Amino acid sequence: MSTPFIVDDTVVFGILAACLGFVFYTSNSSHIVWKRIYTFIPGVLMCYLLPSLLVSAGIVSDNTSNLYFMASRYLLPAALVLMTLSIDLKAIASLGSKALIMFFTGTFGIVIGGPIAILIVAIFSPETVGGNDFDAIWRGLSTIAGSWIGGGANQAAMLEIFQYNPEKYGGMVLIDIVVANIWMAILLLGVGKTAQIDRWLKADTSALEALKIKVAHFQEKVNRIPTIKDYVMLLSVSFTAVGIAHFFGNHLSEFLTNGVAAVADKKSFLSFMGSSFFWMVVLATTIGISLSFTSIKNYEGAGASKLGGVFIYILVATIGMKMDLTQILDNPGLIVIGLIWISIHALLLILVAKIIKAPFFFLAVGSQANVGGAASAPVVAAEFSPSLTSVGVLLAVGGYVVGTAGALFCAYLMEIASNL
């Protein structure tokens, strides 16, 4: 593993900040060159892409940086609080069942997509899906299933359950990141054509539009010029909540792991409850929702969700550092499995959306609540409209809940498919 040119996280953070500033400045430029570029590459995708190019060039590396850990443990929960501070649960409930249907369709697509991808690739490249004992490919793919249905905690659970060879695990992480980001890029490109896609789906978007209008009216009502006091209060509320979420999350995960056999058993569908990260996300979201019933929700007028958006974009940049584009073709066979797998997930979502006439928003966010989790679902939701961010947050929490059980079922199906 080569050492990157820059290893000082202070400098790396400055570079990531420069990347974000560059993207936001150029994406709002009136220059025709930038307008054409951002017609094809959404700004949020560029926020992922620029750090990955720096990694590919050997300038920075996620392997020598703790910035993702910082962003995911400090800024992500703070963003979840700020983005749910003014949530309107009644209005979200009025969206109906289609959001949940698309979410569970996405989960089902991942569960069946893995074994089907193995069966397809085995026809022309059986060695790609082979392996014995702890080198068996299906064991490694189980970690991808955990990541794509739930998140990092579920991925770690699958690694511990099926004991895939640690020396080869990095290849699975690469497939997870590369394929998931390709799919998210496609979804983000689709955001710019939402109206055309919704017409093709014959989707009823009236509930979404009503929610946007209601949120806009609330924001207009409480909108004000923020003061230093407002910013200090927002930071105080959000990071106090982060501290509470970490404190109780750590203790809850430890208590449940030591006291409940089903949680301690990594093969149990309740094993996700032993993850401190899971409880951190749930508690941060719960605190934000609870505050929405108090006068603190009026801080949305001072830019609560906007500040949360800043934190999310910093997280996005650190996620971009996880993708080294030069390694994409290191194991083309496994990349093909990942692409077939995510294609089955996508096709099933499109089919169900067409049948139930679900808006593209539900398709995209339902998918990312599985594949991307709390780090990506709010980002994609916000690309449709900042007022819909909280929908992505809530669905992402659902992904963590069903992640371990869904990934276990998928892994057993992949084991069967590998031995046919």
Please give the structure tokens belonging to residue 320.
Answer: 């971009």
Q: Is residue 115 part of a domain?
A: yes
Q: Are 94 and 303 in contact (CB under 8 A)?
A: no
User: What burial letters (b/e) apply to 323-353, b meaning 16+ CB within 10 Å?
Assistant: bbeebbeebeebbbbbbbbbbbbbebbbebb
Residue 278's pLDDT is: 77
pTM for the full predicted model: 0.75
Q: Is residue 315 part of a domain?
A: no
How many helices and strands (H and E) does the chain possess?
Answer: 20, 0
Q: Is residue 82 part of a domain?
A: no
Q: What is the DSSP letter of 73?
A: I
Residue 301's pLDDT is: 87
What's the CA angle centered on 163, arms 161 and 164, to 5 degrees? 125
The secondary element (H helix, E strand) that includes residue 373 is none
Q: How many domains does the chain have?
A: 1
Rounded Cα distance between 276 and 84, Å, is 21
Q: What is the DSSP letter of 385?
A: -
Contacts of 235 (CB under 8 A, 6+ apart): none
Q: Is residue 139 part of a domain?
A: yes
Longest dimension (CA), the chain: 65
Residue 372's pLDDT is: 74
Please give the structure tokens belonging to residue 309.
Answer: 């958006």
Rounded Cα distance between 358 and 340, Å, is 24
Residue 286 belongs to what domain range?
89-304+327-418
Rounded Cα distance between 247 and 288, Å, is 16
Nearest residue to 98 via CA among 336, 313, 333, 355: 355
Q: Is residue 297 part of a domain?
A: yes
Q: Is residue 64 part of a domain?
A: no
Please list the pLDDT of the chain residue by residue as tens digits (420 residues): 578 899 999 999 999 999 999 999 998 888 888 888 887 777 777 887 899 899 889 999 988 999 988 998 999 889 888 888 887 777 777 777 888 899 899 999 999 999 999 999 888 888 777 777 777 888 889 888 888 887 665 676 677 677 787 667 767 877 787 788 788 888 888 888 888 999 999 988 887 888 878 877 887 888 889 999 999 999 999 999 999 999 999 999 899 888 888 777 765 666 667 778 878 888 888 898 899 889 998 998 898 888 988 898 898 888 788 777 776 666 777 888 889 999 999 999 999 999 999 999 999 988 988 887 766 777 788 888 777 777 887 787 777 667 767 888 898 899 888 887
Q: Is residue 242 part of a domain?
A: yes
Q: Is residue 75 part of a domain?
A: no
Residue 354's pLDDT is: 94
Residue 412's pLDDT is: 87
